[in-house]
Structure 1
């Protein structure tokens, strides 16, 4: 039983590192704010992480429309 719990724990940590790393690469170093995988991962991120990511992308892409999930009520302004 302890071995099963250990394997599940390792798989959960690996998934968090893999998806979290991909999300961070999209937010901090992506070439475009309109990457489909990055937008999806940002949409699943908790509120504070998503807000931080949107503000980071707004600073990196100042003249562009926000991607889905980072837009205000009108869809043209950043959060």
Structure 2
């Protein structure tokens, strides 16, 4: 005999979909930021700068260090200069 599963509540479905969308958004922005600091064509990518600027201090510091290593002669983008956040 096969057990019948109880139908999933509408609230559980909404929460599951919302969590999925949130994770997809965070993953997309995270990947965009990581690509910006490690392999971007320019240190002045607008989306990369904004994401980097809003990250916690340790991640922002790491990202700025990667950008400075990759573009040593460029003026650091907004958020990577002292006093800018």
User: If the length of structure 2 is used for normalisation, what is the TM-score?
Assistant: 0.80
Ranges in structure 2 where 5+ consecutive residues have no aligned partner = 1-10
Q: Could you say what secondary structure the match of 1:66 adopts?
A: coil
Aligned-residue RMSD, C-alpha: 1.3
CA apart distance, 1:26:
0.6
Query: How many residues are aligned here?
Result: 74
The alpha-carbon deviation at position 59 of structure 1 amounts to 0.8
TM-score calculated relative to the size of structure 1: 0.86
Segments ≥4 residues shifted beyond 2 Å: none
Q: Distance in 1 between matches of 2:73 and 2:82?
A: 15
